[in-house]
Structure 1
Amino acid sequence: MPTVYGSLRNDFSYKGLSLSVNIVYRLGYVFRRSSTSLAYENIIKTGQHSDYTSRWQKPGDEQTSDVPSLLYPSNPYREIFYQLSETLVEPGDHIRLQDIRLAYDFTPILNKGSRFANLTLFGFANNLGIIWRKNKLGIDPAAGASSSAQYPNPFALSFGLTANF
């Protein structure tokens, strides 16, 4: 849970054009990233995680990797120990470009005989991406870390028209 969080929204306008930008920040927290399974049967079921290639394979690998070797037969307690270890804890601090709204107000250029009292066309983009993150692995902390496939929050784009008669 972030200890410091908030957002900054800036609104800019010029004549009939307006732009609103929302930046959110979450600071002072950590999250547990996913890693490879240490059991062959789980790797077959869930697929290979990128950490799999970094695992200990020969003596001396423990100097350059925190990912344990795979043993046969697998030991479920060994996997639980690794999955809950501190080595998978990463800083979650990040700043994100959350959304942008761009609009144009046609009201000033409508003629007096028009049926519209107000007419505005707008576009809205949400979940545009991370501006800065503290973790060096490029992981999006908001994507969740419960599985080996960390899908980012989806980008959304919408358009609209506001009309008053």
Structure 2
Amino acid sequence: MKKLIIILMALIAYSTHVFADKVSFTASAPDAVVVGEQFRLSYIVTTQKVKDFRAPSIKGFDVLMGPSRSQQSSTQIVNGNVTSTSSITFTYILMANNAGEYTIPGASIVADGDQMVSNSVKIKVLPQDQGGNSGQNNSSSGSIHSSSGTSVSNQDLFIMASASKTN
């Protein structure tokens, strides 16, 4: 019985490698952002064997954070069919500086021993007055009206709190 279980486990492990999907490396970001708005730029590779991530030169944006690396993997067994997926995501938080159209070139990695380059990303940066959902700027009083109807002015105080278990 033990031998049968070991053989079945070996077959399952072997089948996940034989029927593994082809490795892909893609970049994603919003199509349009507003000047001063923060947004996420993500590079996703569909394998766990990644070396040497090289980010492109990101011009026209402030890099507020990144790259941060996160890993995800899952295995599903449905009616005897085994499906395993895994991915690594490299994430940047960027902020647009000036209105215009920008292209962020593809990043490069070595995945499963092969050199790969992601797609480039085109982002249209709109002026603040064309932001749509970013609030309406009232230049006569220097205040911004949010979608909830409350008014925020230059005289209001903004406080950000951060919790830490170590301090």
- TM-score, length of structure 2 as denominator length: 0.23
Larger Rg: 1
Q: Higher helix share goes to which structure?
A: 1
Q: Higher strand share goes to which structure?
A: 2
- TM-score, length of structure 1 as denominator length: 0.23
